[in-house]
Amino acid sequence: MAFYTAFAVAATIVYLTVPAAYTPVWAAIGLSSAGAVLLGVRMHRPAHRWPWYVLAGALLTFTAGDTYYSVLVQYLDATVPFPSPSDAFYLLTYPLLALGLYGLARYRWAGHDLPALLDALLLTAGLALPVWVFLVQPLTRTENMTWVQRAVSLAYPLGDVLVLLLLARLVAAGPGARGNRSLQLLLVGTLALLGVDVTYGILRLNGAWEAGTALDVGWIVFHAAWALAALHPSMAELTALRPREPSLLPARPRLVMLGLATLSAPVVLLHEALSGGTRDGAAIAAFSGLMFLLVLLRLGGMVVAHRTAVAREQTLRTATAALVAAQRPQDIEAACDRAVSTLFGPDAAHASALVPAVPDAGPDSWPAATRVVSVADLGPAAAARLRGLDTALACPMVPPDRPPGGDLPGLLVAAGPLKRLTEIRGPLESLAAHAGLAMERIGLREEISRRESEAYFRTLVSNASDVILIVDDDNTVRYASPSARAVFGGTEPTGSVLPDLVGRRDRERARQALDALRAEGAPETHDHWWVTRDSGRTEVEVRCSDLRGDPTVAGIVVTLRDVTEQRQLEQELTQRAFHDALTGLPNRTLLLERVERALLRGRREPALTCLLFIDLDDFKMVNDTLGHPAGDLLLMAVGERLSGTLRRTDTAARLGGDEFAVLMEDAREPVDAELLAAQILQTLSRPVRLLEDSVSVSASVGVATALDSANADELLQHADLALYAAKAAGKRQWRRFRPPLHDRVVRRHELQERMDAIVGNGGFALRYQPVVDLATEEVVGFEALLRWPDDPRGTVPTEQFVALAEETGQIASLGAWVLRNAAAGAARLQATTSGPAPYISVNVSARQFREADFVDQVRAALDTPGLRPGSLQLELTETVLMRRDKQIDAVVQRVKDLGVRIAVDDFGTGFSGLRYLREFPVDVLKIDKSYVDDITVDTRQFALVEGIVRIARTLGLDVIAEGIETPEQWALLTSMDCRFGQGFLFARPLVPDQAAALLDGPAPGRRP
């Protein structure tokens, strides 16, 4: 460029100072300018060369016209006609210049830039008006010119206007000529050409034009400026695609130029007004209207651009919010995809992708700035994600203010039409920058999380009780966690061979386990080792994991957990689960397990399995008299004696409470079990020393053998039945199971089921046996007796089902039913008689007295409608008197307070003494039938009954003799002043109707 500048200056000086060299110098200047353009194209290799070739052709045609004109004038001394061939070359220059400038504008700015076009039209119209008024219009008024001359004269200024329009379009579409020296030189040359052409036209119009003057310097500047524009390196940028900077308002210099252009019409109008009249009003008005319309279009475009910018800004805000909330790279890509879709709109085919900046995922060289790329250059993976589109805009995911040279997180690639890509380039760059920040934020968070996790796990490993070891291929411990010292007894295991650190018995197994893990490729193994240390042995649970493939570990990870206390606890729990806590004997669970095992072995071998159930007699009395601690000592002593009596192969167990069991294995005959039962009874019969007292204890034993049992459950059931039979036979007895025992139990179970059904539906029956005044033979009351209802399967004796009810606990509900119905029956009987109201006597068991609601039951019976006060009598057995306590005394007293009479039933059959009759609030004494039966034949029995009657009368008690069956018995009882009696002699137990008839009929007895 410096050489050509020096050449142009020297040629200009020669041109102005040496008139003889005018023609060759001018030709040299023109040819050199065209050659410089071609040289610049070759040197800088622009993306599109043909616009520069066209501009070089324009310079050549311009030079050809000047050379032709100069040769005719200087060498041929001829007059150049107008128009001449030189004018043809001149006029050809303008379309070539326009075509070349159009090509530069086309490739420099993609798509249609309406604002830039409107600005170019405004500038062109502003400059075209003076040209039209001061140059074109005078030419149209010249009279001595032909139409060809006039047309050629008009073509020059119109060509200049055309070149000016295209140059303005080139400049207006971007940031002007700032930053591009080549464009600045093109602008200088074009303005020089326009100025010289306008001056040339005016001088030619006035006939003052002369060649070789200083005015020719303008054309030299035109040639030189355009040549230097092609030689400058920035010329390649004029055909390279430039992003269109979105701007709602033009730059300030452009606004000044546009403002001056719009003032051209008022200035021309003012000039003509001051010159003596307006001659070109129509032209001025037309140009003014045109510029007004262009200004309106420009403002409308600004409004549309503003709306578009607001929509894109809203899209970016939404995308930014989504990027801020993104937690994963997939969230970032989804947010970018939504934003790109919104920016493109629904009408344009598009696609987007985030391409990581790694060599195997894209091109070898990644753009440091945003640029248009071919989708094929991004690699097959990215091309597939971009849906086969051809052109894409690659935006680096870095903020624009970040200095170059840093790591590139990736590219935001948006594929679509080139025009739309150019329009949304700015928003895409901003979106890519925010996506890069989001990606960096996620990466930073992951790094922080990773470091925190590392610190967290480092802390866990340092403080964990489990031992973590890393073992190399030679079984050497490379790393040991701090807890290893506690397990290995203070020894630092690092550097030691791991199998040498465990017990001698486990060393070979530990070595084999490590070798097998390496050879077989199993992910992990589990085992238990013993570790020997000074204070003893430690059992550890071992887990080995092969992590040799992990570069961060590169070894076998062995985890050791001290399970010594856990094993001890398991043993203790097993002991508690299968042994009795008090005696230490096996419990029911362990006994059943051993019974099952013994029965299985007995099927394979000639051995007999026997089971003994042992129940202590009167153990409750020991607890009640000496206390529970003494009872516990007694149970422990019984367990020790049982264990000392048995063989090593036998098992003594405690089933619960005072129940024990003995499993006898390897017996030859059932008699062996019977002998053992007798030996146990003898052993337990010896006195036991408890605290300060000595206690004699006895037991009952039930024996069962596998000969009579099919399985363990049946063997236990048979032993229990045998024990039941032994207890029924009395204390200190043993019984062996016999099949009849099972039959009795079955019958008892059936009886219980029948009784449950009858109790449930209230099906029992009441019978009423009259109580007679032996002197007057009048019925004074009835005893309510419970009877089994009519049943096709047979009637059950009262003693049998009452005893079962006592045993099963149903006596309470059964007694309440009797009390309630007897009171109702008595009320009905009292309503049918006109004489004195008979009382009703109801038997009450000892268990009923201990029911919490017994007093309420009595009160409810007394409230029976129609029952007269004082007509309820309760009969107690001597058992209640023997077991009386504060609770029974309180209940009896409360019952007495309700007006109920108390009678002692079956007096003389128990062990009660006369003291009970004095201390207990008894009203009636009933002599048992066993005493009445023999008074007619046994004088001693007569004297005994007579004594009881006298004692009762002395104590103020009424006496009722039970079981009177003969007139002789009646006569003897009457003679000893026994006032009342009952028995079959007077009446058997009656149904209610019979009892009512008895009250209204004759006396039931027969006087002797």
CATH topology of domain 465-569: Beta-Lactamase (3.30.450)
Write phi, then psi, for 279 (nearest 5 degrees).
-100, -25
The mean-pLDDT minimum among 470-484, 842-856, 879-893 falls in 879-893
Instruction: Give the CATH number of domain 582-737; options: 3.30.465.10, 3.30.70.270, 3.30.300.30, 3.40.462.10.
Output: 3.30.70.270
Is-same-fold flag (326-356+367-447; 465-569)? yes
E strand or H helix at 139: helix 137-141
- Distance separating alpha carbons of residues 702 and 661, to the nearest angstrom: 9
E strand or H helix at 438: helix 425-463
Q: Which of 236-245, 272-281, 639-648 has the highest mean pLDDT?
A: 639-648
- Cα 53 from chain centre: 72
3 state SS of 982: strand
Of residues 135 and 123, the one with the higher pLDDT is: 123
Q: Which of 242-246, 600-604, 821-825 has the highest mean pLDDT?
A: 821-825
Q: Angle of helix 50-70 relative to helix 22-44, nearest 10 degrees?
A: 170
What's the pLDDT score for residue 675? 92
Residue 578 has pLDDT above 90, yes or no: no
3 state SS of 886: helix
pLDDT digits (tens, 9 = 90+) for 461-504: 666 778 888 889 888 988 888 888 778 877 788 888 888 888 88
Residue 839 has pLDDT above 90, yes or no: yes
Residue 764 has pLDDT above 90, yes or no: no
Alpha-carbon distances, residue 147 vs 134, 151, 560 (angstroms): 19, 6, 113
Homologous superfamily (CATH) for 764-1000: EAL domain (3.20.20.450)
Of residues 717 and 729, the one with the higher pLDDT is: 717
3 state SS of 129: helix
Report the pLDDT averaged over residues 210-232. Answer: 78
The tokens for 624 are: 């009640």
What's the pLDDT score for residue 585? 92
3 state SS of 696: coil
Indicate the pLDDT class of residue 859, thresholds 50, 70 and 90. Answer: very high
Q: Which residues pair with 355 in a beta bridge?
A: 411
Report the pLDDT averaged over residues 261-273. Answer: 77
The tokens for 815 are: 């007694």
Burial class of 71 by CB neighbour count within 10 A (0 to 12, 13 to 18, 19+): middle
Hey, where are the domains in the chain? 1-109+173-241, 116-144+250-325, 326-356+367-447, 465-569, 582-737, 764-1000
Omega before 83 cis (within 30°)? yes
For 77-134, the DSSP string reads --PPPSS-HHHHHHHHHHHHHHHHHHHHHHHHS-S--HHHHHHHHHHHHHHHHHHIII
3 state SS of 364: coil
What's the pLDDT score for residue 700? 92
- Between the two ends of the chain, the Cα-to-Cα distance in Å is 173
For 565-630, the DSSP string reads HHHHHHHHHHHHHHB-TTT--B-HHHHHHHHHHHHHHHHHSS-EEEEEEEEEETHHHHHHHH-HHH
What's the pLDDT score for residue 135? 62
Look up tokens 């003897």; give the residue: 972
The number of helix segments (H) and strand segments (E) in the chain equals 36, 24
Report the pLDDT averaged over residues 402-422. Answer: 77
Report the pLDDT averaged over residues 358-362. Answer: 43
What's the pLDDT score for residue 770? 94
Residue 833 has pLDDT above 70, yes or no: yes
pTM above 0.85, yes or no: no
Report the pLDDT averaged over residues 213-226. Answer: 78
- Distance separating alpha carbons of residues 965 and 822, to the nearest angstrom: 25
Residue 210 has pLDDT above 50, yes or no: yes
Q: Which of 176-180, 305-309, 448-452, 582-586 has the highest mean pLDDT?
A: 582-586
Q: Angle of helix 425-463 relative to helix 281-325, nearest 10 degrees?
A: 10
% of the chain exceeding 90 in pLDDT: 14
The mean-pLDDT minimum among 610-614, 685-689, 691-695 falls in 691-695
Residue 359 has pLDDT above 60, yes or no: no
- CATH class belonging to 326-356+367-447: alpha beta
Q: Do residues 978 and 944 make contact, with C-beta atoms less than 8 angstroms apart?
A: no
Indicate the pLDDT class of residue 362, thresholds 50, 70 and 90. Answer: very low
What's the pLDDT score for residue 426? 84
Of residues 267 and 357, the one with the higher pLDDT is: 267
Report the pLDDT averaged over residues 731-746. Answer: 78
pLDDT digits (tens, 9 = 90+) for 544-568: 888 888 887 888 888 888 887 777 8
Smallest Cα–Cα separation from 315: which of 352, 290, 345, 283? 345
Burial class of 34 by CB neighbour count within 10 A (0 to 12, 13 to 18, 19+): buried
What's the pLDDT score for residue 835? 77
The mean-pLDDT minimum among 281-290, 525-534, 746-755, 963-972 falls in 746-755
% of the chain exceeding 70 in pLDDT: 84
Report the pLDDT averaged over residues 22-43. Answer: 84
The mean-pLDDT minimum among 89-93, 521-525, 918-922 falls in 521-525
Q: Which of 348-357, 828-837, 979-988 has the highest mean pLDDT?
A: 979-988
